Structure 1
Amino acid sequence: MTTSPTHPRNDRMLSVPRLRQEITEGRIDTVVLAFTDMQGRLQGKLCHAQFFLDSMLEEGAEGCNYLLAVDTEMNTPGGYAISSWEAGYGDMSFAMDLDTIRLMPHNPGQAMIQCDLTAHDGQLIPMSPRAMLRRQLDRAREMGYQMLTGTELEFCVYNTSYEDAWDSNYQSLVPANKYNVDYNILGSQRVEPLLREVRNAMYTAGMTVESAKGECNFGQHEIAFRFDEGLITADNHVVYKLASKQIAHQQGKSITFMAKPNDREGSSCHIHMSLRGLDGELTFWDEEKDARSATYDHFIAGVLKGMRELSIFYAPNINSYKRFAKGSFAPTSVAWGIDNRSCAVRLVGSGQSARMENRLPGGDVNPYLALSAMLASGLYGIEHQLELEPMMEGNAYESDAQVVPSAMREARDLLHGSSLAREVFGEDVVEHYVHYAEVELEAFESAVTDWELHRGFERL
């Protein structure tokens, strides 16, 4: 029931023998088995540690397959091929990745193991986000590449608890900073008790923490982590997102990763990515010419070709599309430029540090889906030797370049009609996520919003 032997990713993560010792000696009493669902959330079970050792480590665990076919509210809408009353709502297995055993120090006595999801025959369930990324990483290896990537998550902090925010219908929330604190040390120090706890907890949980900084929106901050191999980065991303919310809750605060929580600047998740050879050799840079390689240009061209068609994987929620506004530092143009933040794709670095930054995703992104989409389309560009269009000069917001989808309905239609998506992900995966978008659209379009009430209750 495991997907790999136990080779800890670094000396702060646990091997099976060390986990066994920590449990036997009473320092760990709970083992969390967690997988990532379509919405990018960690779902799973909290297991008594001794029972985990005695039974679950060898025998594994299971959960209902509707967990890959629910909406944000955990409703079970019809229309998914993998999960329905007609199919009996069967189980899927939690295939433990024993490379991912980590302490969760903000929850004393707790360790976590991340899992893949498999069917009864042991095959990975293809529309599982982690399986989608594994498939693209395997595809890259078959072509002679490995992917290195980092995700830069922004979030907004409020001095309002999650419970009080819920009870107030998310009105009159108190931001942790009441003015723009972009790079402002004083502003960051105001929130340092929270930021410090998150940084230190995530270091103990096996991540390489770089720094924290303020951002533009009120109470908006970012904690940066060092880039790593693709699966490690995605695994760390979802653990960090969960843990930071838990730590905020413990301190009577709240954090949101919504792409656009209010009318000010949205929260981004810029993704930096490069390819290396399987032995670590440069592939994005021609050292003799001291310039970008042809492989790099083909990869950029592929990412740009797939950006609109795969936008559901970068912008997975109704709210995601409200972040895309001219002059907002969120992209509206499908264009590339060198160190140009008005473009969806920004090239930075040279030589060993040469990489592309995808500025489309917001803080609400599911990292497995976004990394899968970016890698899949980039590899498509290499396979098809796509020619890179001319670089954007100047302000991409005012250019005639193609624009990113302005709403989920457009993104749904683009994914549904995408031959690229069906080639790289398969028919079943595409239909699954097209239906995911349809479920979200149906829910949103049947809701009565505050905007409608404020405009129409008295005056219409």
Structure 2
Amino acid sequence: MSSFAERCGLHDAARQQALAQAVQQIEAQGLELVRFAWCDLHGVTRGKTLVASAAAQALLDGVGLVSTLMLKDTSDRTAFKVFERGGAAGLPGFEFASNLLLLADPASLKRLPWAPATGWLRCQPWFQGGQPVELDTRRVLQRALQRLAQAGYGMKCGLEVEFHIYRIEAGGGQLDPEQADWPGLPPQVSMIHPGYNLLAEGWYDMAEEPLRIVQHTAQSLGLPLHSLEIELGPSQVEAVFDATDALTAADNMVLFRSAVRQALRRAGYHATFMCRPPFPNIMSSGWHLHQSLVDARSGANMFRRDAPAPGSQPDEAGFTLSAAGAHYLAGLLEHARGMAVFCTPTANGFGRFRPNALAPQAVLWGRDNRGAMLRVVGECGDAGTRIENRIGEPAANPYLYLAAQIHAGLDGLERRLQPPRATDAPYDAGNALLPTSLDEALQALQDDRALVESFGADFVHYFSRIKQSEASRYAQAEDKLDFQRREYFGRF
């Protein structure tokens, strides 16, 4: 009888070889447990842990997963009434909390540096009949990349990720059964540095212990960490990664967030990728996404221009970017409001869009301008020429964040859109503003016909239904700070 992986059309000679190597590694490294992990709609890893002797068979036949895990909002409540007649309408295969199967990529096996004798595998969900689950966010990015490849391009991405690390204080009630709730209390914390001294070596030295854990965790997992920095806000830090292809970059972001939170927790620290932690006098965290298109065959940077376009001025895109780069830039601007909810998907994150805060507020681009939404980096002849999108929050689902860039940029390329002149006043009144709430961002997505078509109406409906559940509960919350403290600070 054929395996489930074969029925899904996945198990070819290359996968068989990777599977054999994975089994050999499990045995050689003395692994006792293997985590089969999957990234949910909110960018959180979930899955099951198998004993090592069961891992080889699970690589062939999958691991069962309740389908409602794909229907949860950020509080872990199921947003669709799957047990009511018509409650899962438009979601065939999800009725009655039925089962999905996780299939792992055997080549993704890693040994977790913080957990004794434990391996980790990246998975994606499939229906029991062998059909892919198209609502899976990693598959959403894979489809976008296929569309990009058909146009002759690949995508290269570099990550700059700001986040906060706190020291966990004893007590606080998080694990007190008398105070259990849904969602529960976050830990009580203190800071690892006092902030407001950007890149201060003394503050880095104060925070070195948790940052060493971040360093060792990332490097042990093979992630392309480039630097660790002290950011401006109290207890805020930044991790910068070398550029990779887009799918690898998204996979790395998922693994990095999950890994450092777990490794730091074991050492008595709490890492949060929530944009604005629930304390006074904090600074918002952003996720700055550097991106360029490359020629699918040669790998050459398709944004690079060797000399300014004839007659162009420094504030015109053609002074720095190729024609393809200018069209792509224009597409990102055209769909900025529609894509915002994929880049900043929490009710908390929209508080970052404010004047003079090194964060965007309006739909603008600039040349090396950190107040603009899009920052063009590089000069003529620079092989590293790229566009930095500064709209993202570090809690965003990486697959959806990157897919939104591709679909928006491709629309600009296909329609040969032209961007306006670069801004030199990103916070001036009168500019088209980014959404200022989750509700507004969801409506902007619904109003963007090109993005709805590119992502697929079924996916947009599914995504919007779940995010609207979060937005509605936030609107109804009497204590909005407590909502964010429980829903985001303790869980993201």
TM-score norm. by structure 2 comes to 0.85
Amino acid in the other structure paired with 1:380: D
Q: Does 1:282 align with 2:301?
A: yes
Asked if structure 1 preserves the Cα contact closer than 8 Å seen for 2:329 and 2:409, the reply is yes
Q: Does 1:208 align with 2:224?
A: yes
Q: Does 1:377 align with 2:414?
A: no
Asked if structure 1 preserves the Cα contact closer than 8 Å seen for 2:169 and 2:188, the reply is no
Q: Does 1:407 align with 2:416?
A: no
Amino acid in the other structure paired with 1:45: K
Which residue is 2:397 aligned to? 366
Percent of paired sites with the same residue: 26
- For residue 373 of structure 2, the aligned residue among 344, 349, 352 is 344
Which residue is 1:11 aligned to? none
Asked if structure 2 preserves the Cα contact closer than 8 Å seen for 1:133 and 1:372, the reply is yes
The 1:416–1:450 alpha-carbon spacing in structure 2 relative to 1, beyond 3 Å, is: closer
In 1, Cα distance between equivalents of 2:29 and 2:350: 48
> What secondary structure does 1:437 align onto?
helix
State the Cα deviation string for residues 52-78 of structure 1 (Å, max 9, x = none).
Answer: 12x212112221221111012221122
In 1, Cα distance between equivalents of 2:263 and 2:94: 41
Asked if structure 2 preserves the Cα contact closer than 8 Å seen for 1:6 and 1:99, the reply is no
- For residue 355 of structure 1, the aligned residue among 374, 381, 386 is 386
Shift of 1:6: 9.1
In 1, Cα distance between equivalents of 2:337 and 2:289: 16
Asked if structure 1 preserves the Cα contact closer than 8 Å seen for 2:161 and 2:239, the reply is yes
Shift of 1:96: 1.8
Amino acid in the other structure paired with 1:403: L
Shift of 1:84: 9.0
Matched residue pairs, number?
446
Q: Which runs of 5+ in 2 are unaligned?
A: 81-86, 180-184, 310-319, 484-492
Shift of 1:226: 1.1
Q: Does 1:189 align with 2:197?
A: no
Amino acid in the other structure paired with 1:33: F
Amino acid in the other structure paired with 1:30: L
Q: Please report the RMSD computed on the Cα atoms of aligned residues, expressed in angstroms.
A: 2.6
Amino acid in the other structure paired with 1:241: R
Matches within 5 A, 1:52-91: 52-53=55-56, 55-78=57-80, 81=89, 87-91=95-99
Which residue is 2:426 aligned to? 396
Matches within 5 A, 1:213-362: 213-261=229-277, 262-263=279-280, 264-278=282-296, 279-287=298-306, 291-350=320-379, 351-362=382-393
In 2, Cα distance between equivalents of 1:383 and 1:161: 54
> What secondary structure does 1:387 align onto?
coil
Q: Which runs of 5+ in 1 are unaligned?
A: 9-13, 454-460
Q: Does 1:433 align with 2:463?
A: yes
Asked if structure 1 preserves the Cα contact closer than 8 Å seen for 2:68 and 2:94, the reply is no
Asked if structure 1 preserves the Cα contact closer than 8 Å seen for 2:102 and 2:124, the reply is yes
Asked if structure 2 preserves the Cα contact closer than 8 Å seen for 1:210 and 1:226, the reply is yes
In 2, Cα distance between equivalents of 1:186 and 1:6: 54
Asked if structure 1 preserves the Cα contact closer than 8 Å seen for 2:164 and 2:237, the reply is yes
Asked if structure 1 preserves the Cα contact closer than 8 Å seen for 2:274 and 2:394, the reply is yes
Asked if structure 2 preserves the Cα contact closer than 8 Å seen for 1:32 and 1:46, the reply is yes
> What secondary structure does 1:124 align onto?
coil
State the Cα deviation string for residues 279-330 of structure 1 (Å, max 9, x = none).
Answer: 2023112336584211000100111111101211011111011111111111
- For residue 32 of structure 2, the aligned residue among 29, 33, 43 is 29
Which residue is 1:117 aligned to? 125
Amino acid in the other structure paired with 2:326: D
Asked if structure 2 preserves the Cα contact closer than 8 Å seen for 1:4 and 1:99, the reply is no
Shift of 1:163: 6.9
The 1:253–1:295 alpha-carbon spacing in structure 2 relative to 1, beyond 3 Å, is: same
In 2, Cα distance between equivalents of 1:424 and 1:198: 36
Q: Does 1:42 align with 2:45?
A: yes
In 2, Cα distance between equivalents of 1:115 and 1:450: 35
Shift of 1:172: 6.8
Higher mean C-alpha deviation, range 262-271 or range 423-432: 262-271
Higher mean C-alpha deviation, range 366-375 or range 441-450: 441-450
State the Cα deviation string for residues 150-191 of structure 1 (Å, max 9, x = none).
Answer: 221111111125973747955973111123242112111212
In 2, Cα distance between equivalents of 1:71 and 1:326: 30
> What secondary structure does 2:103 align onto?
strand
Shift of 1:430: 1.0
Which residue is 2:215 aligned to? 199
Shift of 1:273: 0.4
Shift of 1:86: 8.3
Asked if structure 2 preserves the Cα contact closer than 8 Å seen for 1:6 and 1:98, the reply is no
